[in-house]
Amino acid sequence: PLWCGSDELPVASGLRTDRRELLISSVVEALPEARESSPRDSVWPFWAAIATSIMLIWSIFSPWAIVWGSIPIAITLIGWFWPKGIAEDES
């Protein structure tokens, strides 16, 4: 087993400090495989959650809530997933 080994395990190093990065590891052995940059802070997930909550509560009272509620959800999802024009992953 992994806990009985006397070998030193690798230490994660080289992560950037000027932006958020996640360390991707292998499933079985948990060895570091890659670095993935995390998205920047955004207000769009909050507004998408608010729009979804309003649509779900409204859909209890009217089936038209799905039709009309999908419009603000689509707007917030477009704003959330729209490319920001920041080429962080190229470096």
- CB neighbours of 76 closer than 8 A, spacing ≥ 6? 44, 47, 48, 51
* Cα–Cα distance for residue pair 9/6, rounded to 1 Å: 9
Provide the pLDDT confidence category of residue 44 given band limits of 50, 70 and 90.
Answer: very high
Q: How many domains does the chain have?
A: 2
Helices (H), the chain: 44-58, 64-81
Would 67 be classed as within a structural domain? yes
Task: For the beta carbon of residue 6, count every other beta carbon within 10 angstroms.
Answer: 4
For residues 53 and 27, membership in a common domain is answered with no
Distance of CA 22 to CAs 12, 67, 68, 86, Å?
11, 38, 37, 18
Whole-prediction pTM value? 0.61
Provide the pLDDT confidence category of residue 55 given band limits of 50, 70 and 90.
Answer: very high
Q: Which domain holds residue 17?
A: 2-37
pLDDT beyond 60 at 91 = no
